[in-house]
């Protein structure tokens, strides 16, 4: 019971940290965030870079995708621009995962302290920076709580039996990743939880990669919800997001073992392997679509007919 309470505290602290960090970064960006999204999308390549940059700033591909759907719905962006931003958002969301993979948990308390003092004794952009530092510190504290919560599972025989079955099923891992991400509405949280478990040797590299692929599917739920009851163009953006993410997963899933071998050669620690797997997969998936973005846009328009 104590482990579940500690894990719950860790999840809540992590989510609170993410929200505070995102809020602080959005305030630092100010109104320029909307300006960037609206005007820095003149070409598909530029839209991709814009989506990557903005997502790295606000630390949420779901938020950027939902904002993009809103802009498309109001006529500020066309479908091709929106798809470019979505492709970039898939890349930008990997920044947090790469940061978490570093062994910087000892910075949690200093970041919380510095962030809190900055909030109290400063104004304007410096205060926004303080909220960002406080949020990142809480995020790290959440990871520490989750890590401590999972340690007692070493001594639970039933857990190892369940884990053995889990490690034998790539599809089960994929479905778990998709379901968990859909529930928490945060691929960053579910990936962070996976990295915490992986650091203690509970999963193998291929199973972890299958889970990561699942998070890419689960993160589509935000776009689907935003598209419901919206304009046809907004529904097309949501559909494009789902199609792109699902197709990428379908293509790589049969080659998980091969992909895991490549990732294992790039890093020794499993949390770092997970971060690399997510980054490489998302970048490769987005870049693979770029040469065909115009035909893909026409395909989405055919699949989701315009309705007044």
Return the number of other C-beta atoms located less than 10 Å from residue 21's C-beta: 24
What was the pLDDT predicted at 267?
86
pLDDT along the chain (308 residues), means of 10: 71 76 67 61 80 78 75 76 88 82 74 90 84 83 73 56 64 86 77 80 87 89 72 82 91 93 90 92 90 88 77
Backbone φ, ψ for residue 77 (5° rounding): -130, 150
**Interior/surface letters 196-230, b for 16+ CB within 10 angstroms, e for the rest:** bbbbeebbbbbbbbbbbbbbbbbbbbbbeebbeeb
Of 295, 296, 290, the C-alpha closest to 45 is: 290
pTM above 0.85, yes or no: no
Q: Measured on CA atoms in the order 142, 166, 156, 201, is the torsion positive or negative?
A: negative
- Neighbour tally for 95: CB within 10 Å: 17
Query: How do the domains of the chain map onto residue ranges?
Result: 158-308
pLDDT for the residue 21 = 72
Q: What integer pLDDT is reported at residue 251 of this predicted model?
A: 93
Question: What's the pLDDT at 260?
Answer: 93
Three-state DSSP at 213 gives helix
Judge whether 70 and 230 are in contact, CB under 8 Å: no
CA distance 93 to 110: 25
């Amino acid at each position: 019971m104590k482990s579940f309470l500690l894990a719950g505290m860790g999840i809540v602290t992590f989510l609170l940290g993410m929200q505070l960090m995102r809020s602080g970064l959005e305030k630092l960006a100010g109104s320029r965030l909307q300006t960037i999204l609206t005007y820095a999308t003149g070409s598909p390549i530029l839209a991709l870079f814009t989506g990557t940059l903005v997502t790295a700033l606000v630390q949420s591909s779901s938020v950027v995708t939902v904002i993009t759907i809103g802009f498309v719905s109001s006529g500020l962006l066309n479908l091709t621009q929106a798809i470019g931003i979505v492709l970039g958002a898939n890349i930008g969301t990997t920044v947090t995962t790469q940061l978490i993979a570093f062994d910087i948990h000892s910075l949690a308390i200093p970041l919380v302290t510095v962030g809190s003092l900055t909030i109290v004794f400063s104004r304007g952009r410096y205060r926004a920076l303080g909220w960002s530092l406080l949020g990142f510190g809480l995020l790290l504290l959440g990871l520490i709580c989750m890590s401590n919560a999972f340690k007692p599972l070493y001594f639970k025989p039933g857990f190892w039996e369940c884990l053995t079955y889990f490690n034998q099923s790539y599809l089960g891992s994929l479905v778990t990743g998709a379901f968990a991400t859909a529930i928490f509405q945060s691929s960053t949280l579910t990936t962070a939880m996976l990295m915490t478990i992986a650091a203690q040797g509970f999963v193998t590299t291929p199973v972890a990669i299958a889970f990561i692929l699942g998070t890419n599917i689960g993160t589509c739920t935000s776009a689907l919800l935003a598209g419901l009851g919206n304009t046809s163009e907004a529904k097309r953006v949501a559909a494009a997001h789902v199609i792109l993410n699902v197709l990428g997963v379908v293509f790589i899933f049969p080659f998980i073992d091969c992909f895991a071998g490549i990732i294992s050669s790039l890093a020794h620690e499993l949390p770092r392997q997970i971060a690399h797997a997510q980054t490489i997969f998302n970048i490769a998936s987005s870049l693979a679509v770029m040469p065909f973005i115009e035909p893909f846009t026409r395909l989405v328009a055919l699949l989701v007919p315009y309705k007044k």
